[in-house]
Amino acid sequence: MKKFQSYFTPTTAEEEQKGSNEAAPQVAAAAGRSQRSGSKASQHQLQPMRPPRGHGAAPPPSVVSGRVSPQTVQTSARASMLSVPGTAQPQPNHGRQPSDTGSTAKNSPSTSRAPSLRHSFLPAHDARNRDSETINEIRNDMMVNWLYEQQLRKQLASGMDPYEGVVLKKARGNFTCCPPQMAAIPDSLYAVVSLMNVRCAMTVNTPVVRALLDSIVSKTDLDHVPLPDGLRVQVLRTMADLPRGQLHHFAAFVEDVRLLVVWDDEPEKLLARVQNLEARFIEIIWGNGEEGDEDEDAGEKKGASAAVQELDPAQLEEALAAEKRPVRLESAIVVSIAMILWVMCPAIGVRWLVFQALVDGTYIRFALVAALPVQMFTSLFFFQSLVGSLFQIFGPISAIANNSKYYSGKAPRRLDRTQGPLPHVTIQMPVYKEGLQGVIKPTVISLKAAISTYEMQGGSANIFVNDDGMQLISDEDAQARRDFYEEHNIGWVARPGHNPNPEAGSGEKAFVRRGKFKKASNMNYALHVSNRIEDKLAAVKRGSRWNNENETAAYQQCLADVLQEDEGRTWAEGNVRVGDYILIIDSDTRVPHDCLLDAVSEMEQSPEVAILQYQSGVMNVTNSFFENGVTWFTRLIYSCITFAVASGDSCPFVGHNAILRWRALQDGASFHDEDGYEKFWSESHVSEDFDMSLRLQVAGYTLRYASYTGDGFKEGVSLTVYDELARWEKYAFGCNELLFHPLRFWFVRGPFTPLFRRFIVSGIPFPKKMTIIAYIGTYYAIASAWLLGLANYFITGWYSGAYDKYYLDSFAIYISIIVVFTGLGSVALAVLRYRLSEQSLLSAFFDNLKWVPMFTIFLGGISLHVSQAILSHFFEIDMVWGATAKELEEVRFGPEILRIIRRFKFTFIFCFACTALMICGNTVFPVEWRLLIFHFRAVLCRPC
C-alpha cells in the first residue's frame, strides 16, 4: 500500500532576496498610505461562530494566524499536516510545475490577447522536458506582465502604488507578481494571495471603486456592498483579512488600502470578471433596465424568469400557511384507466377459456390462468403508457408550470439572509478514475460558480469529493489530484483499494470494497469519516471565548486523530464536514450558477421533503451518432417524467442532481451491517438510489421533482453501446434485488425481500405504488422477449390453429408495441413539446422518427443481456460493473472488431443458432415437423 504523504510536509529553501533593496521607497510609501487610511484599518474581529446544527453543522470559516514574511511565503511556509477547512495554505514547491504553457502576447491596443496556457505535448518522461520548468517560468512571467499591462491600459491601477498590481500562481507554493516590488511589502497582495492560494488576483482602483469605498468608510458596521439580483461583495478591513474571507466571492473591498481585490481560477478570465463587477457597481448607482445577464444559459434564463421574493422567518410561516400545494389527481386517473384495461384484457382471455371449455368440456386449459400474475406484472407499464400518451395529447398541461405536493414548476420564495444564516450546503461528488482535466476540472469550475453565487447571497457551501481512485492511480496522477483539490479548497476522502486477502508478510491489512457497484460503499466510507470527526468535535469543550480559530484548530486535531486511528489507510484533507443539505452530483455534471438558494429555500419551506430531484439536461462530450441518440432518449425520459410527476405521479430519484436533507438520511435511511458502523447507501443493491428513495418514502418522507431550472443541470450520457448496455443490465439487476431473494432462499425467507414487503404495506399512495411496480415490470418484459419469442416460434409453427384463443402470438404483441410505443408515443411526445412551446410540431415529430431505427435495433437486442442480469441475481452469479466512461476513447477498427466479438460472443452464437434453426426448420426438418409460417419466423428475428 502506498504511504500517504501530505501536501504540507515542510521543506527547506533559500529565502527570496531579489528586489528587496529597490522596494524600500515603495514600502515606505505604502506604510504612509496605510497610516492615512484612518482608524478603520484596525485589527479584524472574528464574527461569532454559527451554532452547530447537529451532525449537519456548517463548517466554520478558517483562520490563518500570524503574519507571513513576503520573502518566506514562497518556500518556507510551515503548515499543519492537515489542511484547514476552507483555507488554501501556501505549499512548498516539490519541483512540480503546472502543465499550462503559453504563447507570446500580441500587444496591439486593438487586438490585445492573453497568452494561451496549453498542456505540454511531450511525453511525461521525455528528455526534452528538462527545460519545462524554465519554459513555464517564462510563460507565467509573460502572463503576469500582460495582465499588469492590461490593468494599466484599462486604468484599473495608477501605476504609482506598489500595493496595486497582479499576482499569478506558477506552481504549488510558487507565485510571481507585477510590479515585482510588491513581493517585498508585508501584507501586500503578493503575501495574502500566497496564503489564499488562488490562481491569479488583481487590484482594482477606479473612480467607481473609490466612490464606493468612500461610502463604506462612513459606515462602521458595513460588511458588504450589495449587487443586483440579491448578490453582495464582502468588505474587509485590512489586506491581512483576505485569507479569512469568503474565497468564493472572488472579490473583496479592502478598506485600509482603499482597493478592490479580484481573483479567479483562470488568468484569461480575470479581466472579464473585473469588468463585470464594475458594470454591476455602476448598475447599483445608476440602475439598469436590462434583465438578466447576456451570458446566461437558456436553461437558466427559464429558471431565472420566475419571480423571486425573500422571506424572513415570520413571513415564511405565513407563506407556508398560505401556499397550497395541491395533490394532483391526473396521474391517479391515468393509473385508474390503465388498471381497468389491465384487468379487462386478461379477463377477455379468461372469457375465451370459459367458452371453449363449455364447447368441448376440456378444463385443463384453465392451467393457463397460472400465467396471469406474470402476464399482468409485465403488461402494466404498457397500459400506463397507452393512457399516458393520450393524456399528453388531450389532457391538461397547466400543472407543468405550477407547484403541487410532489412537483415544483415555479421557483420558491427565497429565504431572507438578513434574518439569520442560510443553511450550509455540502456538494458531494463521488469520483473514480475519471480524467482530471477533461472530466473533474470542468465540473468543479461549474460548482465553484454556483458556490460563489450562494456565498454572495449570504450562504456557505463546500465541495466534498469521495475519491475512490486516489489510491489506485499512479503516484503522479494522485499528486495531481491532490494539488487540484488543494488549489480549489476541496475536501476529499480516499479509501484503500480492494484487498480482501493481502499477501502474508506484506504488512497490509485486509480491506473489502463492498458492493457490485462501488459507488454506494465509497460514499458510505467518506460519510463515516466525516461522522467520526463530528463525534470527536462534539466531545470538545467550548468556552465562552470560543472562536473560529479554536474551531479550526479543533477540526484539524480531530481529522488528524481519525487518520491516525486508521493507520494511514484513509487519506483525507480539507473540509469534509457535511452541512444541512447535500447536493449529490456525478463527476461529469454541470449545475446552474444560481441554484443553491432556491434549493435550500424550498427544502426549508417543506420539511417533509427528503429529496428534491432536479430535471436534467444533457451535456454532450462528443458529436457521435450513438451519443446523440442516447441524448434524445434521455431527454425523452425527462420529458415524460416531468409530465407524469406534474400530474401527480411518483417522483423518481436518479442518484444525482438532487438535494438531500441530511437529517432525513440520518433519521430514515441509516442502518448498520457487518462492518459495524452507520451507513446510508445500500451496498447490497446495485440501484442504491432506488433503494434510498423507497426507504425514505417508507419512513414517511416525500420526494419532489423540480423543473424550474430548465436544462441548467446537465448530466453526461453513455458514450458507447457498452456503457448503455451495462446501464440497462445494472438497472435490471438492481430491480430484481429490490423485489426478490435469490432462488435458494425462497423456501426459507420467501420470494419477496423485506424492503418490498414494507413498501407494499406502507402509506405510499396506491397509484404511486402501481407506477413503481409498472416501472419494475418493464425489465422483466424485456428479459422474457427472447425466450417467449423462441417458444412462440415452435408453438405457432407446430400447433397453428390448435392452441386456445387465450394465447396471443408474438406478432400480435409486436404490432401492439409498435402502435403504442413507436407510433402513439412519438406523436404524443411531439404534441406535448409543441403544447409546451418547446418545439414546432413538425420538428418535434421528425426528431422523434429520426431515432426510431436506432432504438428499434438497440432495444430489440437487449433482451438477452437484461435476462442475464436478472438470472445472475436469482442464481447468485457475480456481475460487476465499472464506472461509466466520461471521455471519448479512440480505438482502431481492427481491435474494436475483436472487442465486439469477445464482448458479445454468446449473443452472436444465439443469433446464428436461431438463423440456422429457421433455415433447417423450413428445409431440413422432416415434413411433419417443419415450421412454414412466415410471419412467426419474422417475429423471431427481432428479439434475436
Which CATH number does the domain housing residue 177 bear? 3.40.225.10
Torsion of CA 398, 403, 408, 410, to 10 degrees: 80
Is residue 117 within 8 A of residue 170, CB to CB? The reply is no
Is residue 479 within 8 A of residue 442, CB to CB? The reply is no
- Verify that 708 and 749 share a domain, yes or no: no
How far is Cα 552 from Cα 86, in angstroms, rounded to an integer?
10
The last residue of one of the domains, among 266, 289, 312, is 289
**Average pLDDT, integer, range 843-856:** 94
Task: For residue 622, give the amino acid letter.
Answer: T
pLDDT > 90 fraction of the chain, expressed in percent and rounded = 57
In this prediction, residue 160 carries a pLDDT of 84
The last residue of one of the domains, among 263, 289, 315, is 289
Is residue 297 within 8 A of residue 304, CB to CB? The reply is no
- Verify that 709 and 820 share a domain, yes or no: no
**DSSP β-bridge partners for residue 703:** 611
CB atoms inside a 10 Å sphere around CB 819: 12
Instruction: Answer whether residue 23 is part of any domain.
Output: yes
Number of domains in the chain: 3
SS (H, E, C) 17-75: CCCCCCCHHHHHHHHHHHHHCCHHHCCCCCCCCCCCCHHHCCCCCCCCCCCCCCCCCCC
The residue range of the domain holding 676 is 411-717
**Residue 184 clears pLDDT 50, i.e. is over it:** yes
Which of 424, 414, 415, 461 has its CA nearest to residue 51?
424
Instruction: Answer whether residue 732 is part of any domain.
Output: no
CB atoms inside a 10 Å sphere around CB 932: 12
The last residue of one of the domains, among 289, 319, 336, is 289
- Verify that 255 and 174 share a domain, yes or no: yes
- Verify that 713 and 810 share a domain, yes or no: no
**Average pLDDT, integer, range 267-276:** 93
What's the pLDDT band for 32 if we cut at 50, 70, 90? very low
Instruction: Answer whether residue 550 is part of any domain.
Output: yes
DSSP helix/strand/coil, 4: coil
- Verify that 612 and 651 share a domain, yes or no: yes
How far is Cα 769 from Cα 135, in angstroms, rounded to an integer?
64
- Verify that 416 and 452 share a domain, yes or no: yes
- Ranked by mean pLDDT, the top range of 180-194, 437-451, 922-936 is 437-451
Q: Where are the beta strands (DSSP E) in 665-720?
A: 671-672, 678-679, 702-706, 714-715
- Verify that 426 and 553 share a domain, yes or no: yes
pLDDT-wise least confident of 217-226, 843-852, 878-887, 930-939: 930-939
How far is Cα 69 from Cα 67, in angstroms, rounded to an integer?
7
Helix (H) or strand (E) holding 610: strand 609-614
In this prediction, residue 103 carries a pLDDT of 36
DSSP 815-867: HHHIIIIIIIHHHHHHHHHHHTTSS-HHHHHHHHHHTHHHHHHHHHT-HHHHH
Helix (H) or strand (E) holding 787: helix 785-798
Pairing of strands 232-236, 251-254: parallel
In this prediction, residue 114 carries a pLDDT of 45
Query: Interior CA angle at 169 toward 167 and 173, to 5°?
Result: 120
Is residue 491 within 8 A of residue 575, CB to CB? The reply is yes
Report the CATH number at residue 594: 3.90.550.10
Which of 666, 575, 656 has its CA nearest to residue 617?
656
**Average pLDDT, integer, range 694-717:** 94
pLDDT digits over 514-523, tens only?
888 789 999 9
Angle between helices 841-850 and 852-860 (to 10 degrees): 40
Instruction: Answer whether residue 419 is part of any domain.
Output: yes
- Verify that 687 and 749 share a domain, yes or no: no
Dig out the grid coordinates for 859 from the structure: 432495444
pLDDT digits over 441-480, tens only?
999 999 999 999 999 999 999 999 999 999 999 999 999 9
**Residue 10 clears pLDDT 60, i.e. is over it:** no
How far is Cα 452 from Cα 251, in angstroms, rounded to an integer?
10
DSSP 121-174: -S-TT-GGGGGHHHHHHHHHHHHHHHHHHHHHHTTSS-SS-TT-SEEEEEETTE
How far is Cα 813 from Cα 349, in angstroms, rounded to an integer?
14
Q: What is the mean pLDDT of the chain?
A: 82
- Verify that 670 and 597 share a domain, yes or no: yes
**Residue 501 clears pLDDT 60, i.e. is over it:** yes
In this prediction, residue 777 carries a pLDDT of 95
**Residue 929 clears pLDDT 50, i.e. is over it:** yes
Instruction: Answer whether residue 896 is part of any domain.
Output: yes
**Residue 425: φ, ψ to 5°:** -115, 130
Helix, strand, coil % in the chain, rounded to nearest 5: 50, 10, 40
Instruction: Answer whether residue 221 is part of any domain.
Output: yes
**Residue 109 clears pLDDT 80, i.e. is over it:** no
What's the pLDDT band for 801 if we cut at 50, 70, 90? confident
- C-alpha distances in Å from residue 428, one per residue of 462, 464, 475, 655, 662: 9, 5, 24, 11, 12
Is residue 630 within 8 A of residue 385, CB to CB? The reply is no
Instruction: Answer whether residue 910 is part of any domain.
Output: yes
pLDDT digits over 409-428, tens only?
999 999 988 788 899 999 99
- Verify that 674 and 747 share a domain, yes or no: no
**DSSP β-bridge partners for residue 414:** 310
In this prediction, residue 172 carries a pLDDT of 83
CB atoms inside a 10 Å sphere around CB 687: 22
- Verify that 474 and 517 share a domain, yes or no: yes
How far is Cα 530 from Cα 465, in angstroms, rounded to an integer?
12
In this prediction, residue 682 carries a pLDDT of 92
DSSP 525-591: HHHHHHHHHHHHHHTS---TT--HHHHHHHHHHHHHHHHHHTTTS-EEES-----SEEEE--TTEE-
Query: Whole-prediction pTM value?
Result: 0.81
Instruction: Answer whether residue 653 is part of any domain.
Output: yes
**Average pLDDT, integer, range 284-306:** 51
CB atoms inside a 10 Å sphere around CB 928: 6
**Residue 664 clears pLDDT 70, i.e. is over it:** yes
- Verify that 560 and 683 share a domain, yes or no: yes
Is residue 896 within 8 A of residue 813, CB to CB? The reply is no
